[in-house]
Amino acid sequence: MVVTPQTVVVIGAGISGLTSAYELRRKLGRGARIVVIEKAPTIGGKLKTVSSDRGPLEVGAEAYLAFRKDATEFFSRLGLGEQLVAPSALPSQLYVDGSLRSLPRNTIMGVPSGPEGLESILSPETLDRIAMESDPSISAGIHWVPGDDANVGQLVEARYGSEVVDRIVSPLLGGVYSSTAYDLGLRATIPQLAAAFDQMASAGEFVSLGGAVKKVLDERKRFQQARLGSESVHSKPHRPVVFQTFRDGFEVLYRTLAEESGAEIRLNTSAVALARTDTGFAVSLESSSESEGGVETIDADGVVLAAPAHVTGPLLADVAADASEIIGGVDAASSAVVAMCFDTSEGLPEINGVLCEAGADLSAKAFTISSRKWPHIAQRYPAVVRASFGRFDDDSHVHRTDEDLLARARQDLARATGFTAEPVATMVQRWWRGIPRFDVGHGQLMEFAQANIADVRGLAASGAWLSGPGIPECISNARAAADKVAGEIY
Ligand SMILES: Cc1cc2nc3c(=O)[nH]c(=O)nc-3n(C[C@H](O)[C@H](O)[C@H](O)COP(=O)(O)OP(=O)(O)OC[C@H]3O[C@@H](n4cnc5c(N)ncnc54)[C@H](O)[C@@H]3O)c2cc1C
């Protein structure tokens, strides 16, 4: 009997698609045909390392959350453990009311438990309001039924006032989600806080924002103390590493995954339709390269969709209609990154970055001072700064010309930090619909969508839109997607 090797098509060569391709190879073995379809001329998606004469720089994602041990273990298994580097211990600052202020400690994504330490950022009226919020003799509690969700901005504004949202919470959340707090759901973006509300409501306690934040902070403190206690008495207690990155750029990650997957990677090729067949699926492709132009169909036993939501949704229309509608309805924020290299760091503040309050007198929403944040970058350049523009509610800056964006990046950097040096090299990268928006109820909708896809043998879908844009989350979802398909077609 001749056994026909399986064919699996992976749509999208970002971290999600490449991780799925790698895992599919591990599960299906050398005989399987794995084809990765990528619309762009390069692999990596939102991971994009660019070369310059002094070494690699990131113009997409710049680090991953090192608390996610599963991601670090995955990178080590790929032989990339030696590549991982940690940032400096310098703080970031907030740009509020025209000047830099210390970023408050002891908040959960910028949401404080009380007014202490916020005097330089908030007005006395707001400080009073925060102080009273968790006092049951003065305040009414939050009406919360376990499982509820809320709009982050509206919730924090209702309890503490809009100053807290605009000056602290939106800048912090915006750094991850490219949206203000008013465009984000609590359960998808600050799940610890939603869980604390659930616990308080289930226990019949008075539910307040300050009380829930305190509960999460206390839990975090207990966890850290337990970790310190378990460290050897001889070892020096070390600072927890929150983020890590790759010394030679994320490029080493996406190239390694592509190579190890042994997949056939079709660049400049878009998946344009997906249909069921008697034996599996038919994937229609359209090539944008002149030599290979035209439409082609690949027959596949399994398919992993790993493209952005606005692509994945429509592709699912004929195979999982409910999922198609739900995933296709996920919005996304566009943004632009302007990377600037300088041959001097004189006058550049000793901080890792700046987060700008919503409504600040700047076009940029944040700066990463990459050469202060990352010692390996400081070895290559005297100074590197990344300016970020654009949010879900405002992509006007992303439409500007490169020259305009660069001029604004320099002007805003000078205004926020006083650093006025002229860059010796610059790069502008736009990310249209780059980060999905995690709205109220997002998790529940995704559960419905995944349940619909689960019913289709040999089909899986994952990506930044599923449960979070962070690289570790994309990797674990992509591995699960590959597991499902491999398990069903093997
Ligand atoms: C500016 C920026 C900074 C970020 N910073 C961080 C960070 O520091 N840390 C962190 O953890 N995360 C960060 N993120 C988020 C993270 O980079 C992304 O969520 C993640 O890389 C998404 O990976 P993905 O594979 O799911 O999607 P993508 O990277 O979007 O990959 C999807 C791929 O599908 C391709 N595609 C689209 N349509 C088709 C089609 N029809 N056919 C075939 N292919 C198609 C696309 O070209 C793309 O290559 C950042 C994101 C951005 C935009």
DSSP per-residue string spanning 115-132: STT-TTTS-HHHHHHHHH
> Is the pLDDT score of 23 beyond 80?
yes
For ligand 1, atom 37, the nearest C-alpha belongs to 307
**Furthest-apart CA atoms within the chain: distance in Å:** 81
User: Is any ligand 1 atom within 6 A of the Cβ of residue 463?
Assistant: yes
User: Is any ligand 1 atom within 6 A of the Cβ of residue 45?
Assistant: yes
> Is the pLDDT score of 428 beyond 90?
yes
Cα of 221 to ligand 1 centre, how many Å?
33
Closest CA to 253 of 71, 99, 106, 109: 71
Give tens-digit pLDDT for 61-84: 999 999 999 999 999 999 999 999
User: Is any ligand 1 atom within 6 A of the Cβ of residue 39?
Assistant: yes
Span 252-279, mean pLDDT?
97
pLDDT of residue 226: 80
Span 235-256, mean pLDDT?
87
Work out the burial of residue 455: count CB atoms within 10 Å of its CB; fewer than 13 is exposed, 13-18 middle, 19 or more buried. exposed
Please give the DSSP secondary-structure letter assigned to residue 148: -
Pocket mutation for ligand 1, best pick of 18, 20, 37, 46 (most atoms within 8 Å of C-beta)? 46
User: Parallel, antiparallel, or unpaired: how do β-strands 33-37 and 264-266 relate?
Assistant: parallel
For ligand 1, atom 40, the nearest C-alpha belongs to 270
Cα of 61 to ligand 1 centre, how many Å?
9
pLDDT of residue 240: 77
Q: SS3 for 282?
A: strand
Cα of 315 to ligand 1 centre, how many Å?
18
In this prediction, residue 294 has a pLDDT band, given cuts at 50, 70 and 90, of confident
447 vs 230, more confident:
447
User: Is any ligand 1 atom within 6 A of the Cβ of residue 17?
Assistant: yes
> Is the pLDDT score of 251 beyond 80?
yes
Cα of 463 to ligand 1 centre, how many Å?
8
pLDDT of residue 490: 81
Cα of 175 to ligand 1 centre, how many Å?
16
pLDDT of residue 340: 97
For ligand 1, atom 6, the nearest C-alpha belongs to 61
pLDDT of residue 236: 57
For ligand 1, atom 12, the nearest C-alpha belongs to 470
pLDDT of residue 53: 82
> Is the pLDDT score of 4 beyond 70?
no
Please give the DSSP secondary-structure letter assigned to residue 1: -
Span 160-181, mean pLDDT?
97
CA distance 457 to 120: 57
> Is the pLDDT score of 234 beyond 70?
no
**Distances, alpha carbon 147 to alpha carbons 144, 187, 272, 448, 451, in Å:** 8, 9, 38, 16, 19
Give tens-digit pLDDT for 376-391: 999 999 999 999 999 9
pLDDT of residue 290: 67
Q: Which of 39-53, 221-235, 377-391 has the lowest mean pLDDT?
A: 221-235
393 vs 368, more confident:
368
Give tens-digit pLDDT for 275-285: 999 999 999 99
> Is the pLDDT score of 434 beyond 70?
yes
Give tens-digit pLDDT for 91-149: 999 999 999 999 998 899 999 999 999 999 999 999 999 999 999 999 999 999 999 99
